[in-house]
Amino acid sequence: MKLVRPLQVLVLAAVVLLVLIVMVTAVSALAGLTGALIVLGLTVILVVVLGLARRWVSGGTVLELDLDHGVLEEPMSGPLGRYTNRGAPVLRDVTDALDRAAGDDRVVGLVARVGNGQIGLGHAQELRDSIMRFRAAGKRAVAFAESFGEGGLATVDYYLATAFERIHLQPHGQVHMDGVVARAPFLRGLLDRAGVIPDLDHRSEYKAAKYTFTERGFTAPHEEATRAVLEDQFEQMVSGVAAARGLPPDRVRGLIDQAPLLGSEAIEAGLIDRLSYRDEAYHAALEAGRRLMFVDAYLRRAGRPHRRGARIALIHGTGSIHRGTSRFDPLSRGLSLGADDIAAAFRAAIDDSRVQAIVFRVDSRGGSAVASEVIRRETVRARAAGKPVVVSMGNVAGSGGYWISAAANRIVAQPGTVTGSIGVVAGKFATREAWHRVGVNWEELHLGQNATFGVPDDPYTDSERERLKATLDSIYEEFKSLVAEGRSLDSAAVEQLARGRIWTGAQALERGLVDALGGIHRALELARELAGIAPQGGLAVRVYPRKRGIRLPERRESSEPVRQLTATLFDLVDAVTASSHTPAIQAVMPSFWS
């Protein structure tokens, strides 16, 4: 096998040299139009052949996936966002590549690097589903970790790794399957020291965003809701690990209580298949194949699934919801969700006669209630236009994230998705004393009884507080009303589900807040069904709106050393010589999960 590549280089170099000689000869011997046409024809042929080679996938390909930096919900916008999140693949790219490869005879397996504690539970469950579908097609799947966490929690990463056929751990690595943790910062003591008064109000007692600033620890409702979500997520991972590794659930719980586990202990417990270095793990993955290729490179070559057929629009809503346009947030290192952009995407899908249904992917903790209503209105318009809307929830879709989801025909969530948080919080921070402590004094002149409503100097006056309460009551009642309408629930039932309380996707399914468990794959099935598209009919999934911009250099095709200038030449010879190949035709919720 080691002689194949040098031989291919020599053969292709000879072919290219021969073409160049013919072109030069044509120019020399056939002056004028005839010579020019021959050169043009040869050039076109060479460009076409090289283009086809760039889309070629060799037989015996093993896909390579690096999850050590987590995954992105959607591609980052702008150079800063792309640079900050370099190395992290896009979730849909991974799932599309695996679904495409499941039916591709040229792809024989998958090897993935995992274990750095960077993946949310909803994303992990979506990846697990995709890997399971890949394996069900008879493909091998090997996971490799240098360590599952290095002094930190990596329960979700190990849970993800159990979707693979075999798990390799580097010697001296550990398995930090330590459990689950929810950490909440409480800043009241700091604000008191700084002389800042948090003048906040909420609807209702489970709306925990307020407590970050007004309390010094968990309130009873805050602790109750958080514990219930943690317990459900914990049991989901216990049952998933137990089923995948053939262990009793009680045994898995016991191992969690013993963690972190040394590599030898993890082997003995049946959590790991082999202690291996990277080269050994990748060699095991390549036993049935001959070439590594990153999943995104494979996707560029083979093309996505769902390319032809009835058109389904896919719209991404990621990050904190606000008015205006979406943008990269350098503080969170993620995207924000601008109502203008999402509404425009819906309008484009509504106006496109080819679109038969819309899948709205939501991964958001909430934000502006006004902006949320702008987006929700477009889902109502889409339904009125006869285009069903199916929401697919990511890691989290709570508060404003649920507001923009509630009017959809169907809502799909992962079992571990955090959703709900039907409530509202608002207020301001009175900073006059803080400014006094640093020698600054603010004075003001105002006309109008409530002119200082939004001025961050003093707490609300009595009349301002009355208007704040009226605003919160109005938004909360509207939120509950639109949930009742969208989910066909009576007001009493919604009140019990609301009050700012969070739920897992599994809990939300039991309570009627979502319709099904799964990811985008399941959402597309429901969109097909609602749009009346035949089960055997093809789908063409198109992202709305189309994103344009300057493309940065693409990632390498695998982690193996490659002479980049000759990579295309190798592929061209593969395409010519491999006869067995077949061408691939504020409503917000707090952030504290660990």
Banded pLDDT at 35 (limits 50, 70, 90): low
User: What is d(CA 241, CA 163) in angstroms, rounded to the nearest whole number?
Assistant: 9
- What fold, for 58-178+259-303? 2-enoyl-CoA Hydratase; Chain A, domain 1 (3.90.226)
| CA-based nearest residue to 295, from 559, 73, 537, 22 | 559
Angstrom distance (rounded) from CA 237 to CA 178 = 12
Q: What is the arithmetic mean of pLDDT over 14-27?
A: 65
Q: How many CA atoms lie within 13 A of 284 on its CB side?
A: 20
Closest CA to 266 of 282, 248, 280, 252: 252
CA-based nearest residue to 160, from 270, 244, 251, 63: 244
Q: What is the largest CA-CA distance in the chain?
A: 96
* Mean of all residue pLDDT scores within the chain: 87
Among the residue ranges 7-16, 80-89, 302-311, the one predicted with the least confidence is: 7-16
Do residues 118 and 91 make contact, with C-beta atoms less than 8 angstroms apart?
A: no
Range in 344-353, 354-363, 563-572, 575-584 with the lowest mean pLDDT: 575-584
Residue 239 has pLDDT above 80, yes or no: yes
How remote is the C-alpha of 381 from its chain's centroid? 26
Give the type of residue at 214: T
Q: What is the model's pLDDT at position 570?
A: 42
pLDDT value of position 548: 54
Q: Is the dihedral of CA 355, 124, 594, 502 positive or negative?
A: positive
**pLDDT reading at 563 higher than 70:** no
Least confident of 135-139, 250-254, 329-333, 519-523: 329-333
Q: Across residues 528-543, what is the average pLDDT? A: 95
The per-residue pLDDT for range 146-182, each reduced to its tens digit, is 999 987 889 999 999 999 999 999 999 999 999 999 9
Q: Determine if the peptide bond prior to 204 is cis (ω within 30°).
A: yes
pLDDT at 465: 97
DSSP for residue 75: P
CA distance 170 to 274: 9
Rg of the chain (C-alpha set) = 28
Domain ranges in the chain with CATH number 3.90.226.10: 58-178+259-303, 306-423+498-543
Q: Band of the pLDDT at 3, cuts 50, 70, 90?
A: very low
Domain 306-423+498-543 has CATH 3.20.20.70: no
Give phi and psi for 97, each to the nearest 5. Answer: -65, -45
The per-residue pLDDT for range 260-318, each reduced to its tens digit, is 999 999 999 999 999 999 999 999 888 877 899 999 999 999 999 999 999 999 999 99
With the CA atoms of 46, 48, 53 and 55 taken in that order, what torsion angle do they form, in degrees rounded to the nearest 10?
160
Contact 362, 313 (CB under 8 A): no
Strand arrangement of the beta sheet that strand 140-145 belongs to:
274-275, 166-169, 140-145, 107-113, 61-66, 291-294
Residue 437 has pLDDT above 90, yes or no: yes
pLDDT of residue 63: 96
